[in-house]
A and B are shown apart, each in its own frame.
Chain A
Amino acid sequence: MLHSDFESGGLSMKYLCLVYGEERKIGEMDDHKCLACDAELRAGGQCIASEALEPVATATTVRVRNGRVSVTDGPFAETKEQLAGFYLIEARDLNEAIQIAARIPPAAVGCVEVRPIRPIREQPRTGRSHD
């Protein structure tokens, strides 16, 4: 029998929580706080994946138009384009990441921003000390 999602015990939803902030202020924070939050949420079964990103200067934007891949420096620029989804991928280097990004269907109508993941677990920053 079908049951309403509003009933308790109904299917849970998944949400993507996007973190925004001025890079300087975010950079001054202690990564261990974020890692503790992550551990707590995971223990409660509430976190599926979490990662930190390298600064926006490392971003590359991939578009496919008329079958041709175009690669440009920086994050997507057009204000009409809204965040619509994400793929967390594994690639050998940026060239492979670009090839994969170009295969993501919306790259043909919008764009895919490729941004490296920062190794927050392997190299956590303690805050303020870094530049």
Chain B
Amino acid sequence: MPAADLKQRIEGVYQSESRAVLATLIRLLGDFDRAEEALHEAFRAALEKWPAQGVPENPRAWLVSAGRFRSIDQLRRQARFDSFDPLTHDTAADETSPVDEADPGVADDRLRLIFTCCHPALAPDAQIALTLREVCGLTTEQIAQAFLTPVPTLAQRIVRAKAKIRDARIPYEVPAPADLAGRLESVLKVIYLVFNEGYTASSGAELMRLDLASEAIRLGRLLVEMLPQTEAIGLLALMLLHDSRRAARASAAGELIVLEDQDRSLWSRAQIEEGCALVARALATRSPGPYTLQAALGAAHCRAPSAADTDWNEIVRLYDLLLRIEPTPIVALNRAVAVAMRDGPAAGLSLVDELLAAGGLTGYRLAHAARADLCRRLGRNAQAREAYSQALALTHSQPERRFLERRLAQLAES
């Protein structure tokens, strides 16, 4: 194989295998930093040996063995290990003994890594940073940029999270069945937060940051592949259906386009089909949770040929179900908007006003934006202007700002 091809082949192996190799090395070496170093050593070994030996049949097993061997060898040379170190007794490790792929541990290593990075004993922002770093393989710089965080702050967050994993002894394991539901919730939340950060970009100049949304979908796929639980399937469906509208959600100039004004021919049919099939699969388990119900809502929108042809009855019914398991003012607000579509703006407005009067949504920009939109539809322009101004004062996203300013300008002209 010519050298250039081999280099490309090794890069391909890095893309497809490095995260799985890292996940197994963390289990074998019991330490994140040592595993990362071993991963680099393993690929250095590949660059040295594969040109002569050829690419092994099972590159992942080869890389795990090479990484483990070099890490242990390094420890021996440093002569820093003592009798407490289990590696002292691990004399079987050498570069030629491949790690047994039949070992049930290997297949679960990536799942172990996800559950460890998303452990609820870590701060939420640390869970996100660590997951993107270790599971997705993004660099600290990439993550910092995506979250508009200074690099040293993000690096510090990752260092502290690793220290807590070590010092508080957070285990490297898939939770026991009794704990699985609760722990899965924390994994799904991390994935959804990453997706939302990429999808809505709640602050900053661009409306969408493609990379994070795609990373979240990739993570969701990985999770469903390894752990096909209802809500994991529901979350993947939800992300795919939201993301299917990506191309229609903003104009070429980066201006926000609301759902009813979107060019539906720009929606990704492939993603919608996949998302709808996943929704059906999740609903078939008869234990839909909040992600599955939100995905079902997304599917109802995506199936409609136009905003007017949307099945608002079905959408209100799904919000009723969602409100039962997640009785939050934000869900109630979305339900009110759906009621407005089904029964007219006056019915929706009285619900929104009730919610605003209850006080829980006073600082929520979308509550004021919804109120403004309903007032506008009812021709109550003065009230609409007032509500748009309130929404404007609460938003930090530039495209959202411009959208609200456009609406205000339109009202001033009329």
What's the Cα separation between A69 and B124 when bound, in Å?
Answer: 17
Is the pair A116, B167 in contact by a Cβ cutoff of 8 Å? yes
Is the pair A95, B168 in contact by a Cβ cutoff of 8 Å? no
What's the Cα separation between A60 and B123 when bound, in Å?
Answer: 10
- Determine if A57 is an interface residue (Cβ-Cβ < 8 Å): yes
Is the pair B123, A58 in contact by a Cβ cutoff of 8 Å? no
Main secondary structure of the interface of B (DSSP, over half): loop
- Determine if B59 is an interface residue (Cβ-Cβ < 8 Å): no
Given A94-B168, A94-B171, A116-B167, the answer on whether A60 and B182 have CB atoms closer than 8 Å is no
User: How many of chain A's residues have a CB under 8 angstroms from any CB in B?
Assistant: 21
Residues of B within 8 A of A68 (CB): 182
- Determine if B170 is an interface residue (Cβ-Cβ < 8 Å): yes
Is the pair A116, B169 in contact by a Cβ cutoff of 8 Å? yes
Given A58-B168, A60-B168, A116-B168, the answer on whether A94 and B182 have CB atoms closer than 8 Å is no
- Determine if A5 is an interface residue (Cβ-Cβ < 8 Å): no
Is the pair B120, A72 in contact by a Cβ cutoff of 8 Å? yes
What's the Cα separation between A131 and B175 when bound, in Å?
Answer: 34
Is the pair A73, B120 in contact by a Cβ cutoff of 8 Å? yes
Residues of A within 8 A of B120 (CB): 70-73
What's the Cα separation between A99 and B121 when bound, in Å?
Answer: 13
Chain B contact-residue range equals 10 to 19
What's the Cα separation between A120 and B210 when bound, in Å?
Answer: 49
Residues of A within 8 A of B396 (CB): none
- Determine if A54 is an interface residue (Cβ-Cβ < 8 Å): yes
Given A68-B182, A95-B173, the answer on whether A54 and B168 have CB atoms closer than 8 Å is yes
Q: Mark B114-154, 1 if CB is under 8 A from A, else 0.
A: 00000111111010000000000000000000000000000
Residues of B within 8 A of A58 (CB): 163-164, 167-168
- Determine if B179 is an interface residue (Cβ-Cβ < 8 Å): yes
- Determine if B160 is an interface residue (Cβ-Cβ < 8 Å): yes
Residues of B within 8 A of A111 (CB): none
Q: Which of B119, B120, B121, B123 has the most A CB atoms < 10 Å from its CB?
A: B121
Is the pair B160, A94 in contact by a Cβ cutoff of 8 Å? no
- Determine if A93 is an interface residue (Cβ-Cβ < 8 Å): yes
What's the Cα separation between A73 and B121 when bound, in Å?
Answer: 4
What's the Cα separation between A93 and B119 when bound, in Å?
Answer: 13
What's the Cα separation between A68 and B179 when bound, in Å?
Answer: 10
Residues of A within 8 A of B123 (CB): 73-74
Q: Which of B120, B122, B126, B179 has the most A CB atoms < 10 Å from its CB?
A: B120
Residues of A within 8 A of B126 (CB): 73
Residues of A within 8 A of B182 (CB): 68-69
Is the pair A93, B121 in contact by a Cβ cutoff of 8 Å? no
B121 nearest CB neighbor, chain A only: A60
Question: Could you tell me which B residues sit within 8 Å of A by CB distance?
Answer: 119-124, 126, 160, 163-164, 167-171, 173, 175, 179, 182
**What are the 10 closest A-B residue pairs judged by CB atoms, nearest first?**
A60-B121, A71-B120, A93-B171, A73-B123, A58-B168, A93-B169, A58-B167, A94-B170, A94-B168, A116-B168
5 contacts between A and B (CB under 8 A): A55-B167, A58-B164, A58-B167, A116-B167, A116-B168
Question: Could you tell me which A residues sit within 8 Å of B by CB distance?
Answer: 54-55, 57-60, 68-74, 92-95, 98-99, 114, 116
